[in-house]
Every structure is written in structure tokens, then in C-alpha cells.
Structure 1
Amino acid sequence: MAERRRNANDGRPDERRDARPAPGESVRRGAGEGDAGADVGEDVARLWAEVVATARRTVADGLVVGTSGNVSARLGDLVLVTPSGVPYDRLTPADLTGVDLTGRQVLGTLVPTSELPMHLAVYRATDARAVVHTHAVHATAVSTLVPELPLVHYMAAALGGPVRVAPYAPYGTDELAGNMLRALAGRSGCLLRNHGTVTYGATLDQAYDRTAQLEWMCRLWLTASSVPGLAPTLLTEAQVAEVGERLKGYGQRR
């Protein structure tokens, strides 16, 4: 059953004040329990649909099992985030869940993801507009083996350079959020030891693509390292930095 936030004093649903909208936005919480998606404004509703679609994509692409990952996106001072313990294929517009940058719930009645401290830490410290956290198999395996993903491919440049592994801490804790921020310094993605991945971007698509790229690089390194008697050749940080400069001009001009 989906979790719903309760008032600690009497067990009733905790009524929250409306979210403070960014300029030009209309955000209003539903009037009653189960009405969280009502009249929230087109921008918020559209972004929530993208959050849900991205979360479902992590399952479809094998990056998470069940509800093990989480996804969020920022709009002004509002952060929309997947709720705790709810299968993504069951999420609807009425399940919209939002908090402010302090973690105070301002939209919805479902309890936000237990990894909320990690998501909020990224938004407070960077210019991120979307965060994706997964338990991808190959990336998690690599997190148990090395302090940094070896430079087996130049696409490490897309994440800002060598991908670090944040020291282990229990999930959902401020300690984990702090470890993650240190590993993310100068990067847009990192590994969490014995846990998974975190990536962020200017859009949900960008954050997701970085997650998929990180998982692919981890799989590549594990595959190359598994050949008996041989070791993969690695790139230098200078070579990866050169690619980083080239990537700035990559893609179509509009």
C-alpha cells in the first residue's frame, strides 16, 4: 500500500501549506487526501509526468529492480520526487509528490523517497534540474572494487572526468548525502559504494543519459578486466580532458 504522510500527534493526514510558485507558475495543492494532483498548474503536471516516465524507464532498462531507485526534478524552489516504496507503474497524476528545498512537503500525501536528503543536497550545491539514482548492477559491482572507475573509455568526459566512488553510509542519511557531494565535486555523476549511482543534469533526459552511460562504462571495464592474463589499457586524465573540450561542440546547432 502506498505510504501517506501522517501527523505525528494524532495520526491524521498532515495538511501542508501550498507550494510557493516560481514566477509565472501556478501551483496549488489538492483540497483533500487523494487529490494531490488537482490544479497544480500545467508546468508542474507536465514535469511530474516526465519524472514518472523516467522512473519507469530505469526499470524497463534494467537499472533498478522494483522501487530501488528514485528520480526527481526541480522547478523553481519546488522539487518533484518519486514517493517511497510505490511501484512506478502504479503512479498516476494524483500521486504527485513535491517538497521545497528544505525538505518540507508541499504537494501530495505520499511519503517522498527515503533518499530525499541526497536529492536535496545535489540541488542545493549545484545547478541541477534533475537527479537520477539507480542500483544498476555493473555500476554497483564496480563500486565494491575500486575507489574510482578506471578510465577505460573517453566518455568519462561526459561526466566531468574520472568517476569517483563515495564511501559507504546507510541509505537515506545525511552522511551518505555528504559523501556523495564530495565524490561529485567537479562531476555530474558518481558511484555510491555497495549501493549504486547518482547522476544529475539540466533535464531529466540528460540525467538519465548520464546514468546509462555510467552503467555502460562500468560494464565495459568489468568485461575487459575479466579476460585472464590481460588488463585493459586506460586513458590518461589529459586525454579525457581533451575529449571534454571536444564534447562542448558536439551535436546539432539550433
Structure 2
Amino acid sequence: MSGHQDVREQIADACRRLAARGLVIEGAGNVSVRVGDEVVVTATEARFAEMTAEQVVVVDLDGKAVLGDLEPTSELALHLGVYRRFGAAAVVHTHAPMATAVGLVVDELPCVHYYMLKLGGAVRVAPYATWGTPELADHVLTALDGKSAALMANHGAVTHAGSLEAAVERSLLLEWACELYWHAASMGTPRALDEKQQQAVIEAALARMNRKPTGTPEEKS
């Protein structure tokens, strides 16, 4: 029988952290983690600031209830779609104020800082559709193609990653990038990194990862 109590606790903790950072208001948002053929996900309208493990339920990949008495989030189709299409391990959806604001005025958040390459570079804005609908899930999945983050027009933001911690960190990074863009746009037209500049950053990062220490301390002395 499914339990995943430790994962439910981790999700509740992540939700409280997101609330403390101001990325959600009341019960607006949802978080999930995939464990094998099951998805551990927040219940509908559960308040992030007070989230408990009992407010996190378990469903299978078809959305059928496995554990918990509460209804899963109304955005369950979006979460399941991300797992099916991108093989992610965790999904975070917030109504972060700056991300939501930027999504009201642009069709794409430009890559204004090299840290945004952790999100896949520029971040697309998914067209608006009513919350909880298949149309919204389809729009967001399209916006996420090749990316790990997307803005949702007149709604919020979503990130996915290979772990819950990474998905939360990407949500925080996305909000930071949106705030950075807002500050820059208030002074003029923000400069974005072009493809050549972005590729140079990627190559530098790969070189650092592949670089191996040479010689022992004795050999270097």
C-alpha cells in the first residue's frame, strides 16, 4: 500500500517555505512529486502557510485517488502532463506576484541574466485559459517545451525539475528574474543575452564540470 509519508512531509515543508517567501497567497498554488507510478500532490485549496502532510494526497498517473481523503489540486492535469511529457520528478505552481505581473505584459521573459539558463533561457508566457481546464494544461505544456519554467498569462508560474528542492529553487529563481526584468524595464529596454552569449556560458559551465584536478599536492609543490 502507498504511503510516501516522508514525501508528503517534504511537500508540506516546501509549501510553507514558498509561502514564507511570498510566492503564494492562501491556497493559490500547488506542488507535487512523482514517486514511481504515483504522484504525491497538494490538495485543492490547502493553504500553503499552514500546509500539513495530511493536506497532501497521492494519486496514480491517471489521477485516480490512492491515498488521502481530500481532493487533489484542480491543476492535477497540468502536473500529470508535465510528468508524462518531460519526465520530471517534481512540479511547483505558484501565483508569485512579480512572475504574475510580468506575465501580464510580455509574451516572453527575455534571458536577461545567465542564471536564467537554469530555466532554459528565455521563459515563455502560456496564453490564458480558465484554471483547471485541459486548455490551460495544454498551453502550459507547450510553453514548457525545452524549458523548466513557464509564466502563465493572468495566472502565475510553473517550474519542474529532477527533485523537489530543485523545482522550488527554480521557482525562486524565476521570481528573482522577473523582479530583475521589472527593475530594468522601469529604466529602459533591458538588454538580453543573445544565443552566442548564452552558448558561451553553457560551454564555460561544461568546461568547469569536466575539469579534473591534475597532480597531487606534492607534485604541485
Q: TM-score, normalised by structure 1?
A: 0.78
| Correspondence list, 1:32-181, <5 A | 40=3, 44-181=4-141
Measured after TM superposition, the shift of residue 91 of structure 1 is: 3.8
Structure 2 unmatched ranges of 5 or more? 213-221
Contact 2:108 2:123 in 1 (8 A): yes
1: CA distance, partners of 2:182 / 2:51: 35
Give the CA deviation at 1:95: 3.8
* Equivalent in 194, 200, 205 of residue 165 of structure 2: 205
Bigger proportion of residues as helix = 2
Q: Distance in 1 between matches of 2:34 and 2:28?
A: 21
Which blocks of at least 5 consecutive residues in structure 1 are unaligned?
1-26, 29-39
Q: Distance in 2 between matches of 1:102 and 1:179?
A: 20
**Paired residue secondary structure (2:151):** strand
Q: Which of the pair is proportionally richer in strand?
A: 2
| Counterpart Cα distance in 1 of 2:184 and 2:166 | 27
- 1:83/1:247 CA distance change after superposition, 3 Å: farther
Pair 1:58–1:77, CA change in 2 (3 A): same
RMSD: 1.8
Deviation at 1:192, TM superposition (A): 0.6
Alignment-derived partner of residue 241 in structure 1: 199
1:71 is paired with a residue whose SS is strand
Question: Identity, % of aligned pairs?
Answer: 46
Q: Which residue of 2 aligns with 1:32?
A: none
* 1:244 partner amino acid: I
- 1:96: how far off? 3.8
Tell me, what secondary structure is at the counterpart of 1:139?
Answer: helix
Give the secondary-structure state (helix, strand or coil) at the position aligned to 2:109. coil
Q: 1:161 Cα deviation (Å)?
A: 1.9
Aligned residue for 2:45, secondary structure, equals coil
- CA drift of 1:90 comes to 4.2
Q: Does 1:184 align with 2:147?
A: no
Quote the residue 1:215 is aligned against: 175
Q: Residues 97, 155 of structure 1: CA spacing in aligned structure 2 closer, same or farther, 3 A cutoff?
A: same
Q: Is the 8 A contact 1:148 1:164 kept in 2?
A: yes
Determine if contact 1:158/1:247 at 8 Å carries over to the other structure: no
